Amino acid sequence: MGLIKLLVFIAVVFAALTLWRRLQSKRNNRRSSAATTSKPMVRCSQCQVHLPEDRAVRDNQRWYCCAEHRDADHHD
Ligand SMILES: [Zn+2]
């Protein structure tokens, strides 16, 4: 009886761990998706608008919201 109880206990613990890991991975997926939406923001040197870094146009040390503003800043 003692061995069967031990096997049942191990099975319950294993099932609980598997379930817990699934819940944790779901939470991690939510966190990673949230992290992708909150990307580093940069400011356009021309119009001061804030936008995600991957959508901005970079020129040396400055950031711009679009190529037009980058070119306009060069003309000043
Ligand atoms: Zn701009």
Ion ligand 1 neighbours (CB, 5 A) are: 44, 46-47, 65, 69
CB 28 within 8 A of CB 37: no
Is the domain of 31 the same as that of 48? no
pLDDT confidence bin for 42, thresholds 50/70/90 = very high
Is the domain of 9 the same as that of 31? yes
Instruction: Supply the pTM of this predicted model.
Output: 0.49
Is the domain of 29 the same as that of 50? no
User: How far, in Å, is the centroid of ligand 1 from the Cα of 16?
Assistant: 53
Is the domain of 28 the same as that of 44? no
Whether pLDDT at 61 is above 60: yes
Is the domain of 58 the same as that of 71? yes
Identify the domain containing residue 33 by its residue range: 1-38
Is the domain of 30 the same as that of 45? no
User: How far, in Å, is the centroid of ligand 1 from the Cα of 72?
Assistant: 9
pLDDT at 67: 95
Overall number of domains in the chain: 2
User: How far, in Å, is the centroid of ligand 1 from the Cα of 48?
Assistant: 6
pLDDT at 2: 87
User: How far, in Å, is the centroid of ligand 1 from the Cα of 66?
Assistant: 6
Whether pLDDT at 3 is above 70: yes
**Region 53-76 average pLDDT:** 91
Whether pLDDT at 70 is above 60: yes
